[in-house]
Structure 1
């Protein structure tokens, strides 16, 4: 074999034999067991042995250095090959061949903060779409092809979230609006103060100059609500031809914050407006807010959900705006009911879905008056959340009036209610085919599983949703589902939360038996308020 030297590692390619360990010496072993001074002969022997050992160590150090250098060269070659491989993989990567329409679909999925911006039910809302770290800005920074795709799709630029504190981003706002082309816009506008600087007014001018493209609008003015709307109203009134969804956070700190003659008329002329969400407005809603009420088909009203504020919210609204919506199909009301005066008659024949959360700040007299004067002759979907200590009798009477057409019932009672009161209320809805329960008890699950015809709850039940369940209720729920599958109206569909206690094998057993099992609902609150 040739002894030529390797160019890379400077070696010959021939591995030299490694030195062996010296044989054990009995004299050394004996001395290691004592503290005796070695003899002159023994000392010479030991020193000769040390010299030999140190020589062997030097040989091994040289070999280690040689191998380390060899490893360095090999690692360097590997790194070069990995880099070369990455380049080749990038060339043949399937992403290069993805059609533009598929790429666009992926890009739209990156825009998660823009979805369901109107719902005010925990869905995130972005008030700054001008950040370059967000899509679609960051998507256009990956490569030339992606940039061309992003710039070619106006819908990717159609979500515009603006905080009035972002006035330094005027040019970027103008650029985004230009890139959105003529596509309808979803706009989220926020202002935390009631005095606009010249730069902030310029930002507002730019945004409002495109109001003819606003399709979905959410406005949250934290302070100076009436003043801010007086500023914006002349810019957009009569210039909202495609506005369909409107969400307003009217955060009046007290009833006195809104003067008696206060009027918000910016949205009075909006020929396509049909979906309205109002948050925190507690008084005289119909008189303060001028809307084309006759067009509205969906209304939702909220207070400050989850607020830890000690202030008791007083809602002195007579709810007459409800009867001003002859076309309304779905209503969800979550404001406390504590009006001092009696409610007027509220006859709403067009409503098919009605949801209400009776808050703890509500007055029992107001609740009774509200339900006693409420008439929903065509309601088929009722969503009830109750935080009172006892079951209001007015709700039982209301259910008795509405039971014949009721098909869907969502029920979230307070934990203080005894099971017999819950069962008593549920017995008033025998025509229900789809039942949704939040935080059911073990006793209630047992009652629902009792299929004796003499005590059977919901004889027409075909669908059931169970949420906020205990981890050890697997047997109870299985028993309920199995027994309900054996009734004349067999159970066809079950909704369970994402954290349900079942493994996939049990779900597959039900599915193979013809039961649809849906575990896609992330939040009860989002589901129940999406009327």
Structure 2
């Protein structure tokens, strides 16, 4: 009776008989399961033709689908994968074609994913995060196959599916749809976390933002493109700390300037626009880092810069588009920066290289107290090694120096510069506190001089700090004047292995 009560699937092992294999133990079980039966049927070559269109084949396919690795992925991992499926149009400022515009507003890629299976449909539709990235370009709406009313309906559906998740906006608005679009978007103003809103020059749409007033508690980053004259809604954004402004500057937007930590300003052409952009310096607190992209192509060489601006900001970077050599000097003349710690000066790519104006810089340094405060200087404009040495003489507290040889002009990174920077014990030297030198050069210097400079600075830091490491970055341009200094690099890497030098190099 006892043997009859045992499970029929058990295998009796007799003394002296070989132990059954795992597959042998599982075979009776598999033969009784649907998957096992179907696999057995499919393994028979003689029955393949009959099963290929029969019930067994379709059921076996279903079973295999259930056991597919993709079905074993956690929902959280699937959600992350779905986020990575976002089309390139979402990464751009805005869609560039009518077809992309419809796809972005409808989130077509999510709708396609939702059609794969019931599980994927559930994940897509119940994940507010997937629907909380809104990208649209209303300038394309007239060219779309769908009417504007339908596009607004699709936008509303996406906004509602985002529920209460933080919202990221990138929208370009035109007068024809400004009221309806902003009315819809401001319904969800309490969700805005990163908002990029563009409008055509001269188009005053700030009044349509009134519904957002007092409801921007999550807004951290804001980018305004165009003329947003009446955008008072942004004055009450308690966590807004990063702002980018671009377009025609006719009036500074009413923003909570006292709390802004990072501001990028891309001003229009002429010195008048430059003044209005630079005026933001006077409004910002002493903790704001400013980046200016200023275009002076339409300003006259003798156009008066009859304004003076004083600011306590600690960091400023200028990217300049110029067509006359006097511009940099005019810029220096109008500023007083008594708390400045970092100054960077760049030129726009594929444009005329601005010229460093030594006399105006020396005056700026004197009235701003650079000798006590300035610790970082980055120069990516035309300057001779002689003029650079004169400028560095008034910056004894400088710790970081970044220089670039500009193509088709006199090189600034020369033996004269490097020799002046060599540190000799108990002898006054240029930039005694220098800890970092980054060069982008045409290799117009001698390897031995560069090596002597680096070694002297390494020894200086080890003597002063006992454990300090000097940082040196060396990048050579494609317009280099000689072969790459591989032997010198090999020698310097010995210092890297000793832990007293941080060194990076290459063409770039």
Task: Specify the TM-score bucket, using the shorter chain as the normaliser.
Answer: 0.5 to 0.7
Q: TM-score, normalised by structure 1?
A: 0.61
User: Which residue of 2 is the match for residue 239 of structure 1?
Assistant: 215
Q: Describe the superposition over 1:250-307 as per-residue Cα deviations: whole angstroms up to 9, x where unpaired.
A: 26xxxxxx9xxx6443433333322221113344x33xx2222233222221146xxx
Tell me, in whole angstroms, the C-alpha distance in 2 between the residues paired with 1:182 and 1:430. Answer: 53
Tell me, in whole angstroms, the C-alpha distance in 2 between the residues paired with 1:294 and 1:336. Answer: 27
User: Which residue of 1 is the match for residue 307 of structure 2?
Assistant: 343
If you compute each CA radius of gyration, which structure gives the higher value, 1 or 2? 1
**Alignment equivalent of 1:211, drawn from 166, 177, 189:** 189
Whether contact under 8 Å (1:448, 1:457) holds in the other structure is no
Q: TM-score, normalised by structure 2?
A: 0.63
Counterparts of 1:4-403 in structure 2 under 5 Å? 93=69, 97-108=72-83, 124-127=92-95, 128=101, 130=104, 140=114, 144-164=118-138, 165-166=140-141, 167=148, 168-191=150-173, 193-196=174-177, 201-226=179-204, 228-230=205-207, 232-250=208-226, 263-283=230-250, 285-286=251-252, 289-303=253-267, 314-315=272-273, 317=275, 319-326=278-285, 328-336=287-295, 340=304, 342-348=306-312, 351-360=313-322, 364=326, 371-372=332-333, 374-385=335-346, 387-400=353-366, 401-403=369-371
Whether contact under 8 Å (2:404, 2:412) holds in the other structure is no
Tell me, in whole angstroms, the C-alpha distance in 2 between the residues paired with 1:412 and 1:482. Answer: 22
Whether contact under 8 Å (2:245, 2:266) holds in the other structure is yes
User: Which residue of 2 is the match for residue 9 of structure 1?
Assistant: none
User: Which residue of 1 is the match for residue 459 of structure 2?
Assistant: 487
Unaligned runs of 5+ in 2: 1-47, 53-59, 96-100, 142-147, 348-352, 462-467, 479-483
User: Which residue of 2 is the match for residue 436 of structure 1?
Assistant: 402
Tell me, in whole angstroms, the C-alpha distance in 2 between the residues paired with 1:143 and 1:472. Answer: 64
User: Which residue of 1 is the match for residue 23 of structure 2?
Assistant: none
**Alignment equivalent of 2:377, drawn from 409, 414, 421:** 409
User: Which residue of 2 is the match for residue 3 of structure 1?
Assistant: none
Whether contact under 8 Å (1:320, 1:346) holds in the other structure is no
Shift of the alpha carbon at 1:360? 1.6
Tell me, in whole angstroms, the C-alpha distance in 2 between the residues paired with 1:184 and 1:461. Answer: 44
Whether contact under 8 Å (2:106, 2:155) holds in the other structure is no
Higher RCO (CA < 8 A, seq sep 6+): 1
Whether contact under 8 Å (2:245, 2:265) holds in the other structure is yes
Unaligned runs of 5+ in 1: 1-75, 116-122, 252-257, 305-310, 523-531
SS at match of 1:430: coil
Deviates more, 1:236-245 or 1:484-493: 484-493
Shift of the alpha carbon at 1:355? 1.6
Tell me, in whole angstroms, the C-alpha distance in 2 between the residues paired with 1:343 and 1:395. Answer: 17
Shift of the alpha carbon at 1:509? 6.5
User: Which residue of 2 is the match for residue 308 of structure 1?
Assistant: none
Whether contact under 8 Å (1:294, 1:324) holds in the other structure is yes
- Across the aligned residues of Structure 1 and Structure 2, the Cα RMSD in angstroms comes to 4.7
Tell me, in whole angstroms, the C-alpha distance in 2 between the residues paired with 1:491 and 1:221. Answer: 49
Q: Describe the superposition over 1:390-437 as per-residue Cα deviations: whole angstroms up to 9, x where unpaired.
A: 5252222323421322222222113xx333223333343332222223
SS at match of 1:183: coil
Is 1:458 the counterpart of 2:431? The answer is yes
**CA shift in 2, pair 1:264/1:106, >3 Å:** same
SS at match of 1:268: helix
Whether contact under 8 Å (1:320, 1:344) holds in the other structure is no
Whether contact under 8 Å (1:264, 1:290) holds in the other structure is yes
Shift of the alpha carbon at 1:517? 5.4
**CA shift in 2, pair 1:111/1:481, >3 Å:** farther
Deviates more, 1:137-146 or 1:431-440: 137-146
